Structure formats: structure tokens, C-alpha cells
Amino acid sequence: MIPDLDSPGATIGVIGAGTMGRGIAQVAVTAGYSVLLTDLSSAATEDAAIFIAAMLRRAAEKGLMSAEEGEAAIGRLQLVPGLKALKACEMVVEAIVEDLDAKRKLFAELETTVSKDCILASNTSALSITAIAVVCERPGRVVGAHFFNPVPLMKLVEIVDGENSDPAVGDAVAAFVARIGHRGVRVKDAPLFLVNHVGRGYSTESLAILDEGAATPFDIDRVMTDVAGFRMGPFELFDLTALDVSHRSMESSFDQFYGEPRLRPSTVLQRRMNAGLFGRKSGRGFYVYSDGKIERPEEPPAPSVLPASVWISSADPDGFKKVHARLEGLAGKVGIESAERPSRDALSLVTPLGNDATTQALAENLDPARTIAVDTLLSLETRVTLMTTPATTSRNRDEARALFAAAGSKVTAIADCAGFIAPRILASLVNIACVVAQQGIGTPDDIDEAVRIGRGYRKGPLTLGDEIGPGRILTILQRLHHLTGDPRYRPSPWLRRRVQLGLSLKAPDAAN
């Protein structure tokens, strides 16, 4: 019979007392479970016990629990010497080294010591649950329970059903996850599971822009934080995760997906990794770190010479409105032209969606030397992204920078690049979330919440897509696909169908 983990009386075994194992043990004893913690190294378990006790006492001091509750939780943790001591467990969570052979060996041995009904869960972040479970006599009892670091704060667990997992085992783990106060999401045993798969949209697309030479890592980070509202730019995140870890993981998932172009790694990362520019941990990555503190390069000062007059394209009425509203206050200083065509000397502003500046200038029959593209997908309040054509003169570019700086925005000027920075990265993120929904790796609701919590985003990717407008996301992708010829931009059929039917991206198929 499958154990009832909805009862705090249950005993949970945790193997591996490192970063993750100690976090899992802490949340389990806090929720009332008895925990038996073991590790190859007794120093690791002893250290973990001291750490957990300190964390629980601090939580009591902060008023998150009473002192008695804290001491009772500490009392529910028991350090045990090896696998034999886990006989009484209803569930064992494995959090040892990320190595398939080591995990397989452990699971095979574990099965000989625990009861026949005991649930075996692995906290692997990237290995296949199915591949771990094949060594077990009862693969049905093996599931993934992928926690995020730090476990007490990251309130998300991907519950991974392997090909042979009994769904009722996943249900029991879901009850445990709910009792510890985390959000459990059921996911298929696909490479990268759910959160890390969707999150690849953020990292690989930022690298694609860098590879293209359109913008610097600092430009991309500034736009993604100031305009798109992410807490951390993609390149600062690479530095935090460490390049050797991220690059190897990108290479391995690209192989596991048989060369899916959306997940393509970057030669820039390979080169930087070879050079030892790992990031924060090596003191230098995309940024330099001194005494552990990031040094952000100064932004170039904005030029001050304004154009005599400016003309704003109304080809995209929304874009026109946004730019016009931003520049209105400068009407006394700059002539804002309202004729159908720009005057001979006017700086021409276009607002493409997915197109590059060159394509847009030619489509509107404008002089490319005087044309500047403005990204109007999101707000222009904090920062404005400008794009030049290869023919735009530096005088016109500098006047455009001066114009938006005078209107009160910070300005990022990049080379010609289909989709600017934020629209391109956001469209890629939404597209991959739609691919994951299409593949049934998780439900739309779970995808949205899991990525929001697991990546610390303000909004889930499908909510973001709905807010921007699924039709706009589709247009950006179609134009990127057309202009670059790169299959990484091919839109997910899940997205296209919902646009065609006018449905929300969070809508599951009605018949499901």
C-alpha cells in the first residue's frame, strides 16, 4: 500500500546532507515529520544538524514559530549512520551527488533495506527519473522531487513522473509537498523537466543577441531589468550560476533534445569558460567582482544636442501613441511633425514589431540614414531602446539619444537587430513555455506558476504572453523567423492556434 504522507506522523529519510538535503530535512521537520538524515560523511550530517538548528532558532526569534515549536522541530531530526537505519521510513528523498551511476547504485541498495512500500524520491535537477528507476525491482515507487535552492524560501517542487512511476506515488508526494507549504507541480520526465526548460528562453536568447554583436551584455542586462522588469539580467545571472555550470548544462540539454535550435548553446560561453571567466566565483565573468561586490560599468553619458525636428511613424498606432506621449513635453524645444511624410531634415522614428530597423525603414519608404527604430512593446518611462540601420549616421543616432534623454528616459542604443532586446527575449520565453505546454510536460497553470516561483519572475511566462498579447508575440516570432531564417524562432503551434482562436495562452484544450 502506498504510504499516506499527508500525516505529519510519517518518517522521511533524507540521503545527502549538503545544500539541498539539509534544506529538505529542515522543511520536513518544520512541518511535523520525523526525519532521518544520512550522508557518506558524518561531518556533513553533523554540520547539517548545527545549520538546521540555527535556522530554526532564528525563525523562532523572528516570530515565524514559537521557541517551543522550534525546539520540537529540532528534536524531530535524527542523524543516522547509513541506509540500513532508513527501514522505518515512509519516503526517502535522495539528494546526493548529481551522477547517474552513483544514484543508481544508491537506489538499488536502498531497495534492499527499506520497506516494500517506501516511496523513493530523487532530487536530481537534470537526470532522468526513468533512467534512475530502471535499476529498481519496483520502479513504480520511484519519482522525482525536484526542490529549488534555498529550499525553505523557494516554495516549489517539481514532482516528476518517470515512465514507470505509479501515479499514486506522485499523488502521495504531492500531499507531502502541500503539507510542507510548497507548491507541487506534476511534470513529465523530460530533459530539464519544466522550470529549467522554459528558463532557457531567457538565457539562450540573450546569448543569441550577444553572438549577433547587436548589444553588449550590460545593455542586455539593463534593458531586461529596467524595461522588462526582471530582477536580474541574464548575464549577471550567468555570473551568479557560474559559466562552467551553465555552459555544460546547456550543452548537455541541447544534446538531450537532439539539437533543438531553441536550446542552442553559444560559442561565446565556450570561449569564456576556457578562459576561466566563470563569474562571481572566479572574480571575473561578464562583470568584475571585487571583494564579492559586482562592478557595473558606467553608462555612456547621453549627448545633449537635440534634433531640430522629429517625425514619428504611425504605421503602428500603439507605437506612435507611446512615442508621441513620451516626447510631448519637448514640443517647445523640438519640432514634432504631424504630416504624413517626414520633412527633408527630420529625424524619422519608426516602431517595428519584430522587424529590424532596415526592414522597417524600407517598408515605410524612409531614408535609412535618418531612421531610428524605437522599441515600444513595453513602457518607455525608465529606459528606451533605440536601434540604428547600418546607414544611420552617428549624428542622427546621437540626436535620438539626446531626445529621449531630454524626455527623462535612460537610453540604450543598439545595432540593427530583428526584435530589439526585450521583445526578442520575451517572445522566446513565451514560445518555449508554449512548446512545453504543447508537449504536456506540465499544465498551462502549472507552467506559469512553476516558472514564476522557480525563476523568481514577477509573472509567469504565459501570463506575460497574455498581457503583451499572444498575437504580438506570434508576429515577433514570425518576423524573426523570416528575417533570420533560424528555426529557433519557429512559433509553437500551441501559440499559433490560440492566436487564431483568440484564446488565452493559459487555456488548456477545452476537451481536456
Q: Kindly list the residues in this chain that would bind ligand NAI in the complex (CB under 6 A).
A: 15-21, 39-41, 44, 95-98, 102, 106, 123-125, 147-149
- Peptide bond preceding 470 in cis form (omega within 30 of 0): no
Return the residue matching grid coordinates 523557494. 154
- Least Å distance between CB 82 and ligand NAI? 8
In our burial notation (b when 16+ CB lie closer than 10 A, e otherwise), range 110-123 reads bbebbeeebbbbbb
- Least Å distance between CB 184 and ligand NAI? 15
Can you tell me the distance from the alpha carbon of 33 to that of 11, in angstroms, rounded to the nearest whole number?
6
Pick between residue 113 and residue 484 the one whose CB is nearest to ligand NAI: 113
- Least Å distance between CB 131 and ligand NAI? 13
Can you tell me the distance from the alpha carbon of 413 to that of 408, in angstroms, rounded to the nearest whole number?
15
Pick between residue 144 and residue 461 the one whose CB is nearest to ligand NAI: 144
- Nearest 5°: the CA angle 407, 411, 413 is 135
Give catalytic residues, as residue numbers: 125, 146, 158, 196
Pick between residue 249 and residue 355 the one whose CB is nearest to ligand NAI: 249
Can you tell me the distance from the alpha carbon of 396 to that of 370, in angstroms, rounded to the nearest whole number?
6
Pick between residue 149 and residue 500 the one whose CB is nearest to ligand NAI: 149
Pick between residue 189 and residue 399 the one whose CB is nearest to ligand NAI: 189
Can you tell me the distance from the alpha carbon of 54 to that of 201, in angstroms, rounded to the nearest whole number?
38
Cβ-based neighbour number of residue 419 at 10 Å = 29
- Sequence length of the chain is 512
Q: Is the dihedral of CA 441, 442, 444, 449 positive or negative?
A: negative
- Least Å distance between CB 56 and ligand NAI? 19
Can you tell me the distance from the alpha carbon of 373 to that of 21, in angstroms, rounded to the nearest whole number?
51
- Least Å distance between CB 124 and ligand NAI? 5
Dig out the grid coordinates for 100 from the structure. 547517474
- Least Å distance between CB 289 and ligand NAI? 20
Pick between residue 10 and residue 20 the one whose CB is nearest to ligand NAI: 20
Return the residue matching grid coordinates 534593458. 223
- DSSP string computed for 38-97: E-S-HHHHHHHHHHHHHHHHHHHHTTSS-HHHHHHHHHTEEE-SSGGGGTT-SEEEE---
Cβ-based neighbour number of residue 257 at 10 Å = 17
Pick between residue 184 and residue 319 the one whose CB is nearest to ligand NAI: 184
- Least Å distance between CB 435 and ligand NAI? 23
Return the residue matching grid coordinates 537526470. 127
Q: Which residue is nearest to ligand NAI (CB)?
A: 18
Cα distances (angstroms) measured from residue 297 to each of 206, 209, 216, 218: 19, 19, 11, 8
Bridge pairing between strands 293-295 and 288-290 = antiparallel
